[in-house]
Amino acid sequence: MKEYEEQASIHSFVSNTLADNFLKLARVNLLTGEYEFIKKEEDLAYTGGDIPDIFSYIKQQVADKIVMSEHIEDYLKFSNPNYVQKRIFSGEKQIVQSYKRKTKTGYMWVTFEILAPTDCSAEKPWVVFCWRTADSDTTTMLDSLAALSLIYYKILKINLTHDTFEIIKAADSERRLYDGLTKISDWWRLFCEDGNVAEDDIEAYKEFTDINRLREAFGENPTRHSCRYNRKNGDVFRYAQMDLIPSIEYTEQNKVVLLFVKDVHDEHMLEEQRRRQLLDTYHRDSLTMLYNRHKFNEDVEQLQKENTEMFTCAYIDVNGLHELNNHLGHHKGDDMLCTVADALITYFPNEKRYRIGGDEFIVTSTSLSSEAMTRILLQMREKLLEDDYEFSFGVESGGNMLFKVVGAAELKMRKDKEEYYKHNHSQRKNRAMNNQLEQIMTEKRDAEHFLDIIATKFAGVYLVDLKRDEVRHIYIPHYFQKLLQETDFCFSKAMNLYVSKFVDSEYRSAFERVIDYGELEKLLDEKSEVAFPYKKVDGSWKRLRIIRIDETDSPDDREAIWIFSNGAQEM
């Protein structure tokens, strides 16, 4: 007897202790709605008459306006016996829903729970309905969710283990459309079947929302998982992002996660714009802004995959770029390349244009014949001749093995280039070089140092950096260009070669003093220029004048002009 009293006392103590954590506790028969309160706080008790069943009791709470308006719809789900029975009898042993309700002093977060015994079934339909003050963690989370609901237009609480969900926030249209569903997998499936996901994203959406895949994914990595997709919004599609993150209730045995969906269309489009700009930059030649070789290879490969029947390729090589760079400077070579690029844009506005190498360009078309493209290139060639620029080209058409078509066009260009150099290129090009050099000299800041010195005929003009032993902005005879190449463009070494090969031995000592830059600078300090005539081994006479340039961009620069002229005038 004593032992029984002790057990009863312990049982009473445990029951009362547990009950202290709850505002209300009730035993409930899910089939009939019959209920009996085990505990009910007086200041939260319903003050009306008897309520026949627990489901009507919940409806009456709403009618008494003790449930905050934005939580009514979620709470009213539990007034539907079919909804509750379906979830509990399918295996769920705990259903949790939090909401805000009125008190005498304001509002408080309340957590409503349905707890079922392990053997609960239609034959044993008894469960416990509990109302308790939400703990601090839950309150913090729910307040956070309330704030997040301003950002996210759908928030669900999902139990991946049982394939169920609770709506925290969703559009009324979605609530009505999927009312009565208990499985989140059914919601996801119907949402997709109803045309709410753009066709291009359906496969990725289905893969992401596969319930078994999500269970496995969260089991291996219980952290955030995200999917971006194009979602129907009214009459248009906009990009949305779905995030799934573990809830504070998450356990390996009870995988509870929160689903958030927000509109990211503007953000996505901005990212796409930046991505396209970055990709376009990668595909552009930085000087001419035409497409580059990478883009050319990608485009031809794509056309090959599409089995393009009509493909015409023009392979273009600018004549004289190397000479122009060496004689007039790289900036003039750049000007020529940009002029050619601009002409390609003008004459081929609807075709693809590429700069694939230093002086090589390509135009491709899926609409122009080889005859039409050749005719346009000839017109463009005549126009560029006005600027003393020329190019060689080859055109080929075909529908199979497109890179072979490109190779054939290049071969034709090579032959055209050979023909160009066989004819009057040298005479006309030298005349153009001289005219452009004189124009540059006229425009140069330091023109006053040499305009009155340089005659219209000269053997060579060299602008030499005495500190770096380099040449820039010069007119170089062909033979001296070879000397520079042999000496890796070191001017003093090239001059030594010139003296040893071309200068009569009697006059070589005069060069020794000026090729020694230290000695040359002493001479230039004494007088503004150094000049002397000399005789070449072929018997011809030349004259060298060296003039210092004091005005340079940097105080560290020491430049001088070396002018070689024909004839040996008296000093």
pLDDT of 13 > 90? The answer is no
What was the pLDDT predicted at 108?
A: 85
Residue 155: is it exposed, middle or buried by C-beta count within 10 angstroms (0-12/13-18/19+)? buried
Share above pLDDT 70 across residues of the chain, in percent, rounded to a whole number: 83
pLDDT, averaged across the chain: 83
Per-residue pLDDT at 133: 84
- Segment 287-290 long-range contacts (CB within 8 Å, at least 24 positions apart): 287/334, 287/337, 287/338, 287/341, 287/355, 288/337, 288/338, 288/340, 288/341, 288/355, 289/341, 290/341, 290/344, 290/345, 290/353, 290/354, 290/355, 290/361
The residue ranges of every structural domain in the chain are 16-134, 136-278, 283-428, 444-566
pLDDT band at 49 (very low <50, low <70, confident <90, very high): low
Instruction: Give the per-residue pLDDT at 158.
Output: 93
The pLDDT, as a whole number, for residue 10 is 43
pLDDT band of residue 455 (cuts 50, 70, 90) is: very low
Domains 16-134 and 283-428 share a fold: no
* From 163-172, 291-300, 337-346, 383-392, the region with the lowest mean pLDDT: 163-172
Return the top range by mean pLDDT from 286-290, 310-314, 475-479.
310-314
- The CATH number of 136-278 is 3.30.450.20
- More confident site: 395 or 561: 395
pLDDT score recorded for residue 183: 92
Please say if the pLDDT value at position 494 is more than 60. Answer: yes
pLDDT tier at 19, thresholds 50, 70, 90: low
**pTM value surpassing 0.75:** no
231-283 confidence digits (pLDDT tens) = 998 889 999 999 999 988 899 889 999 999 998 898 888 888 888 877 777 88
Task: Identify the pLDDT of residue 418.
Answer: 87
- The three-class DSSP label of residue 264 is coil
Provide the CATH number for the domain formed by 444-566 in this structure.
Answer: 3.30.450
How many CB atoms are located within 10 Å of the residue 371 CB?
11
- Answer CATH for 16-134 from 2.60.40, 3.40.50, 1.10.10, 3.30.450: 3.30.450
Whether the per-residue pLDDT at 214 is higher than 60: the answer is: yes
Please identify which residue in the block is written with the tokens 């934005």.
70
pLDDT digits (tens, 9 = 90+) for 398-429: 978 899 999 999 999 999 988 887 765 544 55
- pLDDT tier, 20 (very low <50, low <70, confident <90, very high otherwise): low
Q: State the pLDDT at residue 266.
A: 87
**Which one has a higher pLDDT value, 140 or 234?**
234
Percent of the chain scoring above 90 in pLDDT: 40
Task: Identify whether the C-beta of residue 394 lies closer than 8 Å to the C-beta of residue 368.
Answer: no
**Would you say residue 69 has pLDDT above 90?**
no
* Predicted local distance difference test score (pLDDT) of residue 435: 52
Q: What is the pLDDT of residue 149?
A: 62
Query: What confidence score (pLDDT) does residue 103 get?
Result: 79
Residue 522 pLDDT exceeds 80: yes
How far is residue 460 from each of residues 437, 480, 544, measured CA to CA in Å?
A: 11, 9, 10
Check whether 540 has a pLDDT greater than 80. yes
Alpha-carbon gap, residue 177 to 171, rounded angstroms: 10
Q: Measuring CA to CA, which residue among 325, 331, 546, 329 is closest to residue 450? A: 546
pLDDT of residue 342: 94
303 contacts 362 by C-beta, under 8 angstroms: no
- Residue 442 clears pLDDT 50, i.e. is over it: no
Which of residues 18 and 542 earns the better pLDDT score?
A: 542
- The helix/strand/coil state of 462 is strand
Q: Quote the pLDDT of residue 528.
A: 75
CA 536 to each of CA 41, 493, 498: distance values in angstroms, whole numbers, following the listed order: 121, 18, 10
pLDDT bin (cut points 50, 70, 90) of residue 444 is: very low
Instruction: Specify the CATH class of 283-428 in words.
Output: alpha beta
Over the range 220-237, which residues count as b (16 or more CB within 10 Å of their CB) and which as e? eeeeebebbbbbeeeeeb
